Homo-oligomer: A and B are copies of this chain.
């Protein structure tokens, strides 16, 4: 009887290895394959695609529960975790990289600032099918129960069929509200931006400092956009690429520069 090798699944996140979101994601992935966790040892939200090039990295075995997954806690960013896992920790290329479940939205332009999604983008750059999951609930007590079967199904589909080259998935999940999710909707990134509003305060010596605050402005509204889907209680799935070339504007830029 041939023993069929189980898929190797790398799990990471940006909220750190102890966050409830990654603990839930690990439990789901344990039902799909052999799981190795390489995740930050402290929260790394808002780190975007940051990497550690002027400092050393630590990566230590870590045990958060009874397993069966293998875990490491890493001193670096989510992207550092993926690079270190793929090139140093794992003995073969993983079949799937999943990141999250993030506590908070990575829809629309939030994808750009997101450590969760940068880990998935890095996975795609390493030619591994990769998915970032985020729940629109910042609370540490967020309820992932209703999301679990959808997360499992999306991961199973990607394990079975792969993803187009150079593409990873940005999956956002509405906050649980007691009604069943409407389903899964493949979308494009909503056009929008953050309007910052800095909170200027004075320290005890009278010098100013700032807290960044802001609110998101949706300048889109299209029913094929991810925020529309989330507002209608769908899980949104946006295929994300790391070729940032604005191919459609090459001619216009020739015109601007006169070359």
Q: Which residues of A contact B (CB under 8 A)?
A: 43, 45-54, 56-60, 79-80, 83-84, 86-88, 109, 111-113, 118, 121, 125-127, 154, 157-158, 161-164, 166-167, 169, 183-186, 188-189, 191, 193-198, 200-201, 207-212, 237-247, 249-250, 252-259
Contacts and interface: CB of A to CB of B under 8 A. Distances in A.
A48 B51 contact: yes
B255 A161 contact: yes
A194 to B, nearest CB: 8
B185 A259 contact: yes
A259 B236 CA distance: 11
Given A109-B125, A259-B183, A239 B253 contact: yes
B45 A53 contact: yes
A248 B169 CA distance: 14
A189 B259 contact: no
Contacts of A254: 186
A162 B79 CA distance: 34
B245 A238 contact: yes
A240 B241 CA distance: 12
A195 B191 CA distance: 33
Given A88-B210, A112-B244, A249 B239 contact: yes
A102 to B, nearest CB: 13
Given A212-B80, A245-B188, A245-B238, A253 B51 contact: no
Contact of A257 (B49, B196, B237): B237
A204 to B, nearest CB: 13
A84 B210 contact: yes
A140 to B, nearest CB: 14
Which of A43, A46, A157, A188 has its CB near the most chain B CB atoms (within 10 A)?
A46
A161 B256 contact: yes
Contact of A250 (B188, B250, B255, B258): B188
A47 B127 CA distance: 23
Contacts of A79: 48, 113
